[in-house]
Amino acid sequence: MAKQSTVRTLSAGSIGNFGEIYDFAVFGFSVPILAAHFFPGSDRTAALLSTFAVYAVAFFARPVGGLMFGVIADKIGRVKVMATTVWLMALGTAVIGLLPTYARIGIAAPVLLVVCRIAQGLALGGETTGTTSFILESAPDDRRGGWIGLTLIFSHLPNALVAGLLIGLQLAAGATAYADWVWRVPFLAGGLIGIVGFWLRRNLDEPDEFKQATRKTHSKNPLRTAIREGGLKGMLNVAMIQPIQTVGSYLLLGFMYTFLVRVAKLDPTSALFTNAASVVVLSFMIPLGGMLSDRFGRKPILTFGAAWLAFAAYPGVYLAATGTITGALLGQLLLVVGVGLYGGACFVAAPEFFPTSFRATGHAISYQVTVAVFGGTTPLIGTLLVQAFGSPLAPAYYVAAVAVACLILTQFVPETKGVSLRTATSSTSGERSTGAVHEAR
């Protein structure tokens, strides 16, 4: 692939990752303010839990969006799905910035907020799988982990950029004005990402791997094909490796800021700063994990990352709960190492479990269901655990338990480094064949 085409391919994939996570990051960082505007009341914990529940709604819309857009991606192409989802995500975010609050329209305010989150969830369900399939099928066979890792930098940097943006807006406008109306600005800015994303994606070509595969094995019903041709095994493999990556990521991205402010009693600016710094490091740990998996294999990196999180969960949360900037930063960085390395291998292994003819469908169902169950609920479970046990360290035991489970389950999934994309299901069932790799291209 020519250099210009490589840059364009990676840029088109990255903008969608940037947009989807920007939108979720704005919501996650705005949970305390959204709770006050859309779920007012004397019980601040109840309002917070209600807002985290709305946060989780988008994750339960993801499997629906994943299935819908995954089938479309396998039938008519990855590019059309990518162009559609970037618009839908941006629209859902921008509308949140325009919603009237509970004080103005009553119960209709949280209802409309839920509708916007559903739109975001549907879009994210299609975006993740469409983009991942597009990048995987465009990458050189020995650099698939590195390519996907590079695009995932832009799945995490938005968290740091959003944190910096919110800090700047709070300092410039003042706490009162920010809480009153300035909080809407980052949501409205999310709409601009849709314009940029569509411009980058409007004239993309489908990967040669996809075009060649669909010419030979075009399926009118990718879901039925997936069920008949071993896709259920691939879905089970995804469900076995995905949970700890999801729990770890959303502990950092969706829960930690509120935890630092509400539980550790760190001031909001310091909490944003430490979380942003941690996410910047995470952004570059993921491509490192992907590149290491290209060299040593997916399973060794998955094993190391899961083991790290099993041991680091308690000291990480303990340090974060100290209420100091140093503790918050070091605690989050302990978690980042495991999440980053594991994620770099996990994100490339998951779509490699499926052949090209139904990759988007198979990956979308398994990935999005797993993320909905473990990712969307992580902030809610973390908050409930702290409240139920009266200890700020309670979330650490949840992370450690999931890490141990995935550490064990990872040993039973096939190694996918170097498998043929065209026939991934059959290739991963036995020994890898370099001949199969060349046949797929």
- Under the banding of pLDDT at 50, 70 and 90, the label for residue 121 is confident
According to DSSP, residue 356 is labeled: G
Is residue 373 within 8 Å of 238, Cβ to Cβ? no
- Under the banding of pLDDT at 50, 70 and 90, the label for residue 433 is very low
- Whether the pLDDT of residue 346 is over 90: the answer is yes
CA distance 188 to 98: 8
**Residues 198, 204, 206: CA angle, nearest 5 degrees:** 130
Determine the average pLDDT of the residues in 166-174.
86
How much is the pLDDT for 44?
A: 66
> Which tokens sit at 61?
């819309």
How much is the pLDDT for 322?
A: 92
CA distance 116 to 440: 41
43-52, 230-239, 360-369, 431-440: the lowest-pLDDT one: 431-440
How much is the pLDDT for 216?
A: 61
Concatenated DSSP letters of 363-385: HHHHHHHHHHHHTTTHHHHHHHH
Among 56-70, 122-136, 345-359, the range with the most confident prediction by mean pLDDT is 345-359
How much is the pLDDT for 218?
A: 59
- Under the banding of pLDDT at 50, 70 and 90, the label for residue 420 is confident
How much is the pLDDT for 212?
A: 82
Sign of CA dihedral 418, 9, 277, 56: negative
Determine the average pLDDT of the residues in 39-62.
73
Concatenated DSSP letters of 165-194: HHHHHHHHH-HHHIIIIITHHHHHHHHHHH
Determine the average pLDDT of the residues in 128-151.
90
- Whether the pLDDT of residue 422 is over 90: the answer is no
Is residue 96 within 8 Å of 156, Cβ to Cβ? no
How much is the pLDDT for 402?
A: 95
CA distance 7 to 209: 18
- Whether the pLDDT of residue 313 is over 80: the answer is yes
Q: 62-108: per-residue pLDDT in tens?
A: 888 888 888 888 888 888 888 888 888 888 888 989 999 888 898 88
Q: How many Cβ atoms from other residues are within 10 Å of residue 434's Cβ? A: 10
Enumerate the domain spans of the chain: 3-440
- Whether the pLDDT of residue 361 is over 80: the answer is yes
Among 17-26, 189-198, 254-263, 333-342, the range with the most confident prediction by mean pLDDT is 333-342
- Whether the pLDDT of residue 298 is over 50: the answer is yes
- Under the banding of pLDDT at 50, 70 and 90, the label for residue 6 is confident
How much is the pLDDT for 306?
A: 97
Determine the average pLDDT of the residues in 281-286.
92
Sign of CA dihedral 324, 35, 368, 149: negative
Q: Look over the chain and give the mean of its residue pLDDT values, rounded to a whole number.
A: 84
How much is the pLDDT for 316?
A: 95
| H or E, element range at 206 | none
- Whether the pLDDT of residue 148 is over 60: the answer is yes
Concatenated DSSP letters of 207-218: PHHHHHHHHHH-
Say what percent of the chain tops pLDDT 70: 91
How much is the pLDDT for 301?
A: 98
pTM: 0.81
How much is the pLDDT for 219?
A: 61
- Whether the pLDDT of residue 350 is over 60: the answer is yes
CA-nearest of 333, 184, 325 to 268 is 325
- Whether the pLDDT of residue 438 is over 70: the answer is no
SS3 state of residue 423 = coil
How much is the pLDDT for 349?
A: 95
Name the class of domain 3-440: mainly alpha
